[in-house]
Amino acid sequence: MLEQNISSLVQKLRNKEITSLELTQSYLDKISELNPSLNSYITVCSESALAAAKEADIAIAAGTAGPLAGIPIAHKDLFCTNGIKTTCASKMLSNFVPPYESTVTAKLEQAGAIMLGKTNMDEFAMGSSNENSHFGLVKNPWNTDLVPGGSSGGSAVAVAAGMAVATTGTDTGGSIRQPASFCGITGLKPTYGRVSRFGMIAYASSLDQAGPMARSAEDCAHLMNAIAGFDPQDSTSAEVETQDYLTNLDQPLTGLTIGLPKEYFGEGLEQGVADAIRQAVSEFEKLGAKIKDISLPNLKLSIPAYYVIAPSEASSNLSRFDGVRYGHRCDEPKDLIDMYTRSRAEGFSKEVQKRIMVGTYALSEGYYDAYYLKAQRIRRLIKQDFVNALNEVDVIMGPVAPTTAFAIGSKTDDPVAMYLEDIYTLSVNLAGIPAMSIPAGFSNKMPVGLQIMGDYFTEAKLLNIAHQFQQHTDWHLQTPNMDKGA
């Protein structure tokens, strides 16, 4: 029951073969069994989840149930949930209980989904390994000596280990796709503005985007049907018509043109990862797709541009956490400046402090033009690379990360090596296009993710392409052996 897809579970619930109460309890039992070793959840909402499951069973019996009624999911702990602790995995917000609901969580609740709890993450979504959490690091269920990726590592692990049917994540520079790759699940970063950011605690406002994480493209399509759409509460929300993301999943891929950027297959890419990606691409050729070599010449500039823009926006967004209205406040401050200084020093981790300082420096007088403005110009060049490439091909494919999951602690003292893990994902966020990671094989006994990138608002096409691949392969059905892993 814990490894069935959403379509199958919805059918069983409607046919009264199982109840939502039984299904929810089985996931809560799995969380109780595995979370102590994997640390995927920060908050588990057992009582409210079971109460919601009972309501879902009543709605199903009455014929008034939403499309996701009775399906147990979890949310990354930066989506505000009314009356339920939302921490951003930070000491700064360790006791924060929002008085309102994010649009994403509200829409999923309206669709009938059951919230099991809030998942662990890198603090304020800053990290690529889920080692930067006030509540402890998260472990990869395939090998608990390795990281799960970040910042949505807790969400990825919850799906991979069978502790949720699906989860929500956010992607600022690869934070859905990279953990999806490392944990062997499917994750979609929609076009910037496709999914509302209202109620998401911001890291970098021009880059953050919410999206679904699940075992399959079909399951992600179910969640996209619930969360996509214009939101007047979000000034960055795109007023573009949505569609039923399940409708075109079975379209054949005959005539599809896939672009392979030469920059994605150069120095730094592990041979095992490269082999898995090329084997996956050959599978698409069997399905009728054509392959074309392309170039994204400014890819190498994505890391320096990102690590100026994102910290700059973070320094602005996180200035509100000062110990005055909410969040951590130091004990017995001597004066206002002492309260500001000590509250922020105590509330933010070293990684968050580092990014705030970098961003503040880049925005300071005398450096704005040299750093922030130049980074924005580079961002425009990166976007134009994608526009040019997508005029020649239907989609772009390549690896999600240059390696599989790496050892816990192996890169914490080398920030450059850690940042290089995002070399293939950052440019997508800078351009604002949609992209997803799907399981495409193994290297060193660890999952490898294939990245599929498309033009603006073509999420349905990406899901169709991913679904067709998953109809002819079984990588997305592989699950970790938790008897050994945890």
Going by pLDDT thresholds of 50, 70 and 90, the confidence category of residue 303 is very high
Is there a contact between 396 and 258 (Cβ–Cβ < 8 Å)? yes
pLDDT in tens, 165-205: 999 999 999 999 999 999 999 999 999 999 999 999 999 99
In angstroms, the CA 417 to CA 29 distance is 38
What is the count of structural domains for the chain? 1
- Indicate if the pLDDT at residue 52 is higher than 90: yes
Active site residues: 76, 151, 175
Residue 215 lies in a domain: yes
Residue 466 lies in a domain: yes
pLDDT of residue 378: 97
In this structure, what token pair is assigned to residue 205? 């406002």
Q: Which residue carries 């050994």 as its tokens?
A: 484
Is there a contact between 248 and 213 (Cβ–Cβ < 8 Å)? no
Is there a contact between 34 and 486 (Cβ–Cβ < 8 Å)? yes
Range of the domain at 476: 6-256+405-485
Residue 179 lies in a domain: yes
Three-state SS letters, 302-360: HHHHHHHHHHHHHHHHHHHCCCCCCCCCCCCCCCHHHHHHHHHHHHCCHHHHHHHHHHH
Residue 134 lies in a domain: yes
In angstroms, the CA 431 to CA 472 distance is 31
Single pTM value for the model: 0.96
Going by pLDDT thresholds of 50, 70 and 90, the confidence category of residue 2 is low
Is there a contact between 143 and 98 (Cβ–Cβ < 8 Å)? no
- Indicate if the pLDDT at residue 330 is higher than 80: yes
Residue 355 lies in a domain: no
Q: How many CB atoms lie within 10 A of CB 14?
A: 13
- Indicate if the pLDDT at residue 486 is higher than 60: no
pLDDT in tens, 74-103: 999 999 999 999 999 999 999 999 999 999
What is the CATH number for 165?
Answer: 3.90.1300.10
Residues in the chain: 486
pLDDT in tens, 248-259: 999 999 999 999
Residue 318 lies in a domain: no
Q: Are strands 166-170 and 72-76 parallel, antiparallel or unpaired?
A: parallel
Is there a contact between 77 and 172 (Cβ–Cβ < 8 Å)? no
Residue 285 lies in a domain: no
pLDDT of residue 1: 58
> What is the chain's percent helix, strand, coil content, to nearest 5?
45, 15, 40
Residue 271 lies in a domain: no
pLDDT of residue 309: 97
